[in-house]
């Protein structure tokens, strides 16, 4: 893993992005890995490393840099949760999308990149991945347990690339009524594939997370790997 600096499009400064590269693969597609409310933490870094092990370039920008650079929290303590939720409420999602678009453009030009690039996001990042699907030229976008996705339904009409949604049936941050509204609203959209994982909670695929569910995570990650390979290789 190496750290690079990217200049924000609005001229407000530079932010860090962390890059993981596959071994023994001269050309690879790139995946922008979008953080949860806990920052580019150890769990997200392991997720990015797993993507590199699958043969992709992974790049994770520090989206909280305007609030507090270098956030690395877990879901294990109440104090960390309070800090993470506080950061989320102060975070400007539109500026975050602009930083992600900057990261995506940089990813396409990384040494060894074949020019193809997509996004994958978790929790808050799952919402931002959907926003990137609607607002950027990303080649593919994958959302894990994105929050309040039904409020983004008007943006789904703008999709021009595949979007995969991984949804937890018992997600306490995305109730059944909102989930059903999302599924109904995207049912006829050919760009969207949505999967609901029964009897699991929010963050079922968070590495070493409180609600990690091995079976659901393996199934979801397998679907993700297959789609990324199809689009980015």
Dump pLDDT digits (tens) for 36-89. Answer: 999 999 999 999 999 999 999 999 999 999 999 999 999 999 999 999 999 999
Structural domains of the chain ordered from first start: 2-232 (3.40.50.1820)
User: In what helix (H) or strand (E) does residue 97 lie, and over which residues does it extend?
Assistant: helix 93-108
Separation between Cα atoms, residue 61 and residue 81, nearest integer Å? 21
Alpha helices in the chain (DSSP H): 42-53, 78-90, 93-108, 124-135, 176-186, 214-232
Catalytic residues: 171, 202
Residue with tokens 């339904």: 153
pLDDT band at 25 (very low <50, low <70, confident <90, very high): confident
Tokens of 184: 């109904």
Residue 212: left (phi > 0), alpha (psi -120 to 50), or beta? Answer: beta
pTM for the structure as a whole: 0.98
């Amino acid at each position: 893993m190496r750290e690079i600096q990217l200049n924000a499009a609005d001229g407000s400064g530079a932010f860090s992005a962390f890059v993981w590269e596959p071994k023994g693969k001269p050309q690879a597609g790139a995946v922008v890995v979008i953080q949860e409310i806990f920052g580019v933490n150890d769990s997200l870094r392991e997720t990015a490393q797993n993507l590199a092990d699958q043969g992709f370039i992974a790049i994770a920008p520090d989206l909280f840099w305007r609030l507090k650079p270098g956030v690395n929290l877990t879901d294990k303590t109440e104090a960390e949760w309070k800090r993470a939720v506080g950061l989320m409420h102060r975070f400007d999602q539109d500026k975050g999308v602009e930083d992600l678009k900057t990261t995506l453009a940089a990813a396409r030009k990384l040494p060894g990149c074949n020019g193809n690039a997509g996004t994958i996001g978790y929790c808050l990042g799952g919402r931002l991945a959907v926003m990137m699907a609607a607002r950027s030229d990303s080649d593919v976008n994958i959302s894990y347990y994105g929050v309040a996705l039904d409020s983004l339904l008007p943006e789904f009409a703008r999709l021009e690339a595949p979007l995969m949604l991984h949804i937890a049936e018992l997600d306490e941050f995305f109730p059944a009524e909102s989930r059903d509204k999302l599924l109904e609203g995207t049912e006829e959209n050919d760009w969207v594939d949505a999967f609901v994982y029964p009897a699991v909670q929010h963050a079922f695929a968070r590495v070493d997370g409180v609600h990690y569910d091995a079976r659901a995570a393996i199934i979801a990650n397998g679907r993700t790997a297959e789609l990324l390979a199809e689009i980015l290789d």
